[in-house]
Each structure stands twice: as C-alpha cells, then as structure tokens.
Amino acid sequence: MKTVKIIIIALLAVVLGSNSYAQMHDHSKMDMSKTNSKMDMASTKTETIKVWGECETCQVTIEKASKVDGVSKANWDKTTKLLTLVYDPSKVKSDDIQKKIAAVGYDTEKYKADDKVYAKLNACCKYERKK
C-alpha cells in the first residue's frame, strides 16, 4: 500500500512537473502573439524603462507600484534594471507610473525618489543612485 502511494505521488510529480513546464513553454511562445494582438485590439503600449534597484524585494515593490489602473503588465529585471510595462496610454501615462515608482523609493529614468523614502529602504535594497 505504501509503495502504491509512493508511485502515485511520483507519477503526480512527473505529470505536474511536465505540465507546468509545458505551460511555461507555451506562455513564452504565446506571449509575443498575445502582446501583438492586444496592441491591435486595445491599443496597449509596451515600454521599457530603466528603474534603479537591487534585489527581489525591490522587484516586488517596483512591480507592485507599477500596477496602477491601465497597466496590464509590469516586469522588472534585477540584472538589467529594466522595467517592461504594458499599459493603455489612454488610461495612464508613463510619467504617472514612474512617479508611483519613485514614490516607493526607486529612481526611474525621469523621476528621482525622495531621499527620505530611499533612506527607509531595506539595507539590501540600497541601490547605487543615479546622479
């Protein structure tokens, strides 16, 4: 009985594992076409802006701050420091999103975070500030 359970669990793990892999795989493939069709339909804009930051905590904070009304996608890469935004320009402006990010302590291309807010960031998040 015990062995059966183990086999079932092992099988489940394999099935689930390959499933999520397939989904991830499909997702990346579909992503391009999705973005394109979305652009045609709802006239969304894809924009990449530089946002200064350090780690995963920064990523969470930056992406959370970016997701204002009209933003359908916000992905920040801690290595490249690039934030990819997909948003509806009729609802929100890039500047508004950048202001939100600056408000939580992160410098963007156009807006600088308040020194006081920056000072309150976690030690690991103290990125090197732009001049």
Helices (H), 70-121: 94-103, 115-119
State the Cα–Cα distance between residues 50 and 110, nearest whole angstrom: 9
Q: Between residues 93 and 120, which has the closer beta carbon with respect to Cu ion?
A: 120
Residues contributing to the site for Cu ion (CB under 5 A): 54-55, 57-58, 125
Which residue's Cβ lies closest to Cu ion? 125
Q: Taking the complex as a whole, how short is the minimal distance between the CB of residue 66 and Cu ion, in angstroms?
A: 15
Q: Taking the complex as a whole, how short is the minimal distance between the CB of residue 8 and Cu ion, in angstroms?
A: 41
Q: Between residues 85 and 104, which has the closer beta carbon with respect to Cu ion?
A: 104
E-state strands within 11-126: 45-50, 71-77, 82-87
Q: Between residues 25 and 120, which has the closer beta carbon with respect to Cu ion?
A: 120
Question: In degrees, to the nearest 5, what angle opens at C-alpha 119 toward C-alphas 115 and 124?
Answer: 130
